[in-house]
Amino acid sequence: MDPKNLLEMLSQTVERYSEKDALMWKQDGSYVSMTYQALWDRIRNLAAGLARLGVNPGDKVAILSNSNQMWAISDFAIGSLGAVSVPVYPTIPYNQVSYVLKNGDCTIAIVENDEQLQKVRDGDAELQHAIVMEPGPDFTATGHVSSLASLEKDGAIHPLNDWEERWKAIAEDQLMTIIHTSGTTGEPKGVMLSHENFLSNMKAIQFWLIELKPEDVQLSYLPLSHVFERLAGHYMPLSVGTTIAYAESIDTIQDNMQEVQPTIMTSVPRLFEKVYARVVEQVEGGSPVKRKMFNWALDVGGQRYDYYLNTPVQEMLLNKQMPKKLQRHLLLADRLVYQKIKQRLGGRMRSMVVGGGTLNPDIARFFWSLDIPILEGYGLTETSPVVTTNPITRAKVGTTGKPLPNVKVRIASDGEVLVKGPNVMQGYYKNQEATDKDIVDGWLHTGDIGSLDEEGYLKIIDRKKRMLVLSTGKNVAPAPVESVINESSYIEFAAVVGDGRQYVIALVTPDMENLLPWAKQQGMDVGSRAELCKRDEVQQLLTDEVARLTQSHADYEQPKKVVVVKDEWTVDSGELTPKLSLKMNHILEKYKSVIEETYDETSVSEREVAAGT
């Protein structure tokens, strides 16, 4: 029987897999686990504790934490009371935290540690209570601050006798969460998502995507405050009995993969761009024999991908075998090349799902050719989030796949992607004007420019507001250009600008992890980051990298100048959103003078501009 709310969904899984591991996390240097029954018991206890604090249906409770087992417990405990969770990115500064808490009308905040508690205290949001997941050694409970452990203990002593009746009474259209947008083009808006929004999306995804299984282990490293990970890395696996293993951080993913040996993983394009760059760098640095063997294996894998893409589904269902020669070559390529790369991912990875941005088609095909399927999809916070995804049996590189069975997609006259379906949000919280602007006659105006091919696969070109119109009349979509530039192992991030100009230029930040060893190999006296960025050799290297990687693009899409930015771009400094997308309004404002000088060739030399001086 289909569940009518997310608590019923989890309850059904607990009934089937009560003693199976639900969650895994690193503790004292090793991974520990929690069964589905233990997870359910802790949700019930925390719900009772929250109720004793006065949490009622409709109340807004913030979660300010990195992804961990307590995030999951808190999310379901809040939802079981008919209350509304308001996730907050743990990387944003206190003033942005305060904005979300106030805009979301939060009365209680569950925070990860003392650092996050201080952000709440530094802001001007009026909270009734704060709950700390991991209190520090100097933590002292007060009338307005308590630990999550004490709240769970209190709930175990004083259980809610009608808890089951409460969550069973939650209707499909009841509000589950308010997730704020990243605010790349203005103040963040609170997206209202119901139980039905998520459940309808999950049901449709299972139809298209690779089937999740109870024996799967899914590595989770993206923040649960982001809707993509919330659904694909949280609700989806918990709905089928999959085990979720939380990575310690983005920096420890490689080690965590070896420890938990995941079979499934979700990610944003940035991770694949960097893995690709490092693999290519290692291959190019190897012997001629190894390079030849790798390229041969890549070609063989490409032939397999083409076979699956071009063979009619009906023939595949009849178990039509691929050519025997190709089968033999694949077995050899797997032993000599594929397995070695798969071992870096833990050795058991059978699929990776990418969202939150556009993946370079060359990189996607690269992984497919190595027998590591990457299933790209498209969605927004406002669509809970998935709109389209590539089915495992017919994934088309360079597209974000087909619309889900219960979702309609059409392209407006100006190229904007419009979406209609049960996954579309209820609206923006306390912002009817923005809701009416974005949802017209039931169709959500996504703000993305895209196209549908003859088979119904969607291709996203760029954000509508990011399209650059040159003074020559040419239109440039910066995202695809930035994506290929990011393939360089020496470049961390790239931003292409040039709206209203005669040509485009690129602002790039160096990847110091690879640039420093290169500089030392060149015999440079490496000083500070800023000093290194001023070096002629570094400027030339990065300029050449941009030229090399964009040479297949149209001439007007190729940056004519490269600005080497000495600053590191981070979420805290404002250049990146929490999902590592560029925050262009901030970048354009911060580097306004440098951009102006770069275009004004008479006022400053190209060398000075490249150094960011």
**What domains are there in the chain, each with its CATH number?**
6-170+223-239 (3.40.50.980), 267-347+350-464 (3.40.50.12780), 467-610 (3.30.300.30)
Average pLDDT over residues 88-101: 92
Q: Any bridge partners for residue 576, and if so which?
A: 582
For residues 55 and 595, what is the distance between their CA atoms, to the nearest angstrom? Answer: 51
Average pLDDT over residues 421-447: 96
Q: What is the pLDDT of residue 357?
A: 75
Average pLDDT over residues 27-46: 97
Dig out the tokens for 239 from the structure: 């709905």
pLDDT in tens, 153-164: 999 999 999 999
The conformation of residue 576, written as its DSSP 8-state character, comes to: B
pLDDT in tens, 167-211: 999 999 999 999 998 765 567 899 999 999 999 999 998 866 667
Q: What is the pLDDT of residue 607?
A: 37
Q: Any bridge partners for residue 267, and if so which?
A: 354
611 pLDDT more than 50: no
Average pLDDT over residues 15-34: 97
pLDDT in tens, 495-528: 999 998 999 999 999 999 889 999 988 888 878 8
pLDDT in tens, 122-156: 988 889 999 999 998 888 888 899 999 999 999 99
Residues 6+ apart with CB under 8 A from 487: 273, 276, 277, 280, 360, 362, 363, 549
313 pLDDT more than 70: no
Task: Judge contact between 341 and 370, C-beta under 8 A.
Answer: yes
For residues 564 and 543, what is the distance between their CA atoms, to the nearest angstrom? Answer: 9
Q: What is the pLDDT of residue 604?
A: 36
For residues 595 and 603, what is the distance between their CA atoms, to the nearest angstrom? Answer: 12
Q: What is the pLDDT of residue 600?
A: 84
Residue 576: pLDDT band by 50, 70, 90 thresholds?
confident
For residues 296 and 300, what is the distance between their CA atoms, to the nearest angstrom? Answer: 6
Q: What is the pLDDT of residue 1?
A: 80
Name the one residue in this structure whose structure tokens are 């004292």: 28
Report pTM: 0.85
605 pLDDT more than 80: no
13 pLDDT more than 50: yes
